[in-house]
Structure 1
Amino acid sequence: MTTGSPIEIVDPKFSSYILANAPLEELASGFRWIEGLVWMGDWGCLLFQDLPRDRTMRWTETGGISVWRSPSANANGQARDCQGRVVFCSHLDRAVGRVEHDGSVTTLVSHFNGRRLNSPNDIVVKSDGTIWFTDPVYGISNDYEGLRRKSELAPAVYRFDPATKGLTTISSAFEGPNGLAFSPDESRLYIAETGDQTKPNPAQVMKVCDVSPDGRAISGLCDFYKVEPGYTDGLALDEDGNVWSSAKDGVHCISPQGELLGKIGVPYRVSNLCFGGGPHLNRLFIGGSHTLYAIFLNRRGARTPRG
């Protein structure tokens, strides 16, 4: 099913990113809130979360929608590690887990300095195998996407090394760290700040920082781009370092310099997105609230481990 997709050209170069004969397609609907989109290149499928229903869904071009894992422990963000396994953030377990090749699940980390994590939200795997994730309180603030419980730690961004089992704080300068993604060369890290939702005007801005040459720390954290209307939740990068951000009115494409290039209109608020669709990664999959969309672009997504 195709749907009208108003394209807004802000910078003329954005015109070259859009294919005139490739409309926004509705792939499936009827979910409660879509999160955690990840393309499984060697499997030829997309995995995503139907988060409030506590299940991980699978989509293929020929087979459509099926359930991949249920219950999912209210999994949110997910990614692939360097061995092709799925690593995921669990609101219910307040942990980061991994789905092994045989389907069993391993808990990788659930505590920091003896205290429970809040509700890990989004996750990326660096080429050195380390796992970076955000830990806001959203999954323990209500019973819809997890289970309401008391926070034991301030929101933060973490780096976990599966080889040493070491967990370190990358930054605690966030009220509600959400989506995150590395630049193609992994020299920069983009982090969505979606703020303290209990406040009338929460801080909501995408931030960027430099990653140290040894990949262990960040520096120079600063504001990068403020999505309007809405805010950045999930985000994805293309091969040239442009940032494709979720927004209330669809998807915003932002240059590496923080300039808005253009927008793809989507009928519902976008929560998350990822590139995939084949060997060229030139299809953008979009979680629009309760509906899954996709659009082919004249862009290729940045390569990720086993993507």
Structure 2
Amino acid sequence: MADEDFEIFDARFNSRVKTSARLDHLFDDCRWAEGPAYFPAHRQLVWSDIPNNRMLRYDETSGGVSEFRNPSNFSNGHTVDRQGRLVSCEHGARRVSRTEPDGSITVIADRFEGKRLNSPNDVVVRSDGSIWFTDPTYGIDSDYEGHRADSEIGASLVFRVDPQSGEIRKVADDFTQPNGLAFSPDETKLYIADTGATHVPGHPRHIRVFDVGADGVSLGGGAEFCESTNGLFDGFRFDRDGYLWTSAGNGVHCYAPEGRLVGVILTPERVANVCFGGPRRNRLYICATTSLYAMTLPVIGARTF
């Protein structure tokens, strides 16, 4: 990786990356790579290959890749909860599920007010155990990443699942296509991408920021945090200093806490999602169209569970 493979817009980006670092190309047999989730105890990464209806597993110790689940119900976004369990968004089954330690599957959410969800897209778990997820229509728009169907809800919403009661609550309803989401490192703010421009010209291609209420349930605010300068945002994560690392059309964009684009890691393919992993959480894994990439950074990823 050479200096020209980065774009630097603010001197602060120089402390976020090493321009002498290499972008490692780990795997390249996907149709649309998405939803990386890292398991520290096993030093393994699980991610989705949505159109191929499978989940893949990368072993950090050997460099080997194998199938984790096939078929996968056209799974998309994943995260790991505080008990080390995989939480998944499934386009095909139109649900959010959890994989238990014995391999069994628990359905977390598949309906709201008696109506089937659209196609859950991305998911995060807050430290109180609540599960937050987005529900756009990408998995029911066609048979490419799920099963074509009409929306029963009639809108694309953001939901919260209560950790005690399992109640599914709508927390945001003013999105065209809510997509990636992540909490700030202190969990006082929730950031949500809107990729509405995929469906309606001139509609959003931005990330909004919400204040999380003292009750840990309600959201306030919702101002635009940043707008994509290349393609669309999808999945994103924070480092522990509050810098946001997001997918975009030409690579991984890094935003300072106030919303300024400070730099870009350029990639050969359009990026869909990222997550931090490695023994020190300073290995940035990048799902980009057909491939899985990674780069070691001089910063530490924020804990996501």
TM-score bucket of the superposed structures, by smaller chain: over 0.9
Code of the aligned partner of 1:114: G
Residue equivalent to 2:40: 41
Matches of 1:293 and 1:129, distance apart in 2: 30
TM value normalised by structure 2: 0.96
**What SS does structure 1 have at the residue aligned with 2:15?**
helix
Code of the aligned partner of 2:145: E
**What SS does structure 2 have at the residue aligned with 1:13?**
helix
Distance 1:264-1:53 versus aligned 2 partners, 3 A rule = same
Distance 1:5-1:281 versus aligned 2 partners, 3 A rule = farther
Code of the aligned partner of 1:28: F
Unaligned runs of 5+ in 2: none
TM value normalised by structure 1: 0.96
Residue equivalent to 1:258: 259
Distance 1:260-1:147 versus aligned 2 partners, 3 A rule = same
Distance 1:5-1:289 versus aligned 2 partners, 3 A rule = farther
Q: Once the two structures are aligned, what percentage of the paired residues are identical?
A: 46
Matches of 1:244 and 1:69, distance apart in 2: 28
- Once the two structures are superposed, the pairs formed by residues 37-116 of structure 1 within 5 Å of their partners are 37-61=36-60, 62-116=62-116
Residue equivalent to 2:24: 25
Deviations 1:106-157 (A, max 9, x none): 1111110111100000000000000000000110001010000010111000
Distance 1:287-1:112 versus aligned 2 partners, 3 A rule = same
Matches of 1:63 and 1:261, distance apart in 2: 31
Deviation at 1:196, TM superposition (A): 5.7
- Once the two structures are superposed, the pairs formed by residues 1-307 of structure 1 within 5 Å of their partners are 6-61=5-60, 62-153=62-153, 154-195=155-196, 197-278=198-279, 280-305=280-305
**What SS does structure 1 have at the residue aligned with 2:229?**
coil
CA contact (8 A) 2:181 2:192 kept: yes
**What SS does structure 2 have at the residue aligned with 1:231?**
coil
CA contact (8 A) 1:4 1:23 kept: no
Unaligned runs of 5+ in 1: none
Report the more deviating stretch, 116-125 or 61-70. Answer: 61-70
The count of residues paired between Structure 1 and Structure 2 equals 303
Matches of 1:82 and 1:239, distance apart in 2: 18
Matches of 1:304 and 1:152, distance apart in 2: 31
Distance 1:145-1:73 versus aligned 2 partners, 3 A rule = same
The two structures, once aligned, show a CA RMSD in angstroms of 1.3
Deviations 1:265-291 (A, max 9, x none): 00110000011111x100100011101
**What SS does structure 1 have at the residue aligned with 2:228?**
coil
Deviating 4+ runs (over 6 angstroms): 2-5
**What SS does structure 1 have at the residue aligned with 2:196?**
coil
Distance 1:57-1:259 versus aligned 2 partners, 3 A rule = same
Distance 1:190-1:282 versus aligned 2 partners, 3 A rule = same
Deviation at 1:83, TM superposition (A): 1.4
**What SS does structure 1 have at the residue aligned with 2:29?**
coil
